[in-house]
Amino acid sequence: MAKLTILSDRCKGCGLCIEVCPKKVLGFDKNTLNAKGYRPATALQPEACIGCAFCARMCPDCVIAVER
Ligand code: SF4
Ligand code: SF4
């Protein structure tokens, strides 16, 4: 399983990473507001991640890092 690191306080809630993930790993954290006042993206199903890093490449704010 790949390791996802999400710097939640830098997320602006655009949802691009959620859209691009082929395994539907990501979603918004409905229980959290970050420092910018957004609901940040989080890994809802981390066990499904295949480490493709599409999410990290798509994020305009470099919030996500993927280690394989
Ligand atoms: S690395 Fe790929 S499978 Fe894993 S969360 Fe990102 S887009 Fe989804
Ligand atoms: S693409 Fe980046 S800024 Fe947009 S929701 Fe995902 S982690 Fe947040």
Q: From first to last of its 68 residues, what are the pLDDT tens digits of the chain?
A: 799 999 999 999 999 999 999 999 999 999 999 999 999 999 999 999 999 999 999 999 999 999 99
Residue 1: the pLDDT is: 76
**Full DSSP string of 16-54:** HHHHH-TT--EEE-TT---TTSS--EEESSGGG-----H
d(CA 49, CA 43): 9
Q: In what helix (H) or strand (E) does residue 19 lie, and over which residues does it extend? A: helix 16-20
49 lines ligand 1 (CB under 6 A): yes
Question: Which residue CA neighbors atom 3 of ligand 1 most closely?
Answer: 49
The beta strand positions in 1-68, using DSSP E, are 3-6, 26-28, 41-43, 64-67
**What is the CATH code of the structural domain delimited by 3-67?**
3.30.70.20
C-alpha 63 – ligand 2 centre gap (Å): 6
The domain ranges of the chain are: 3-67
Residue 18: the pLDDT is: 98
Q: Which residue ranges have their beta carbon within 6 Å of ligand 2?
A: 11-17, 41, 58-59, 61, 63-64
Task: Pick the closest to residue 61 from 22, 6, 21 (CA basis).
Answer: 6
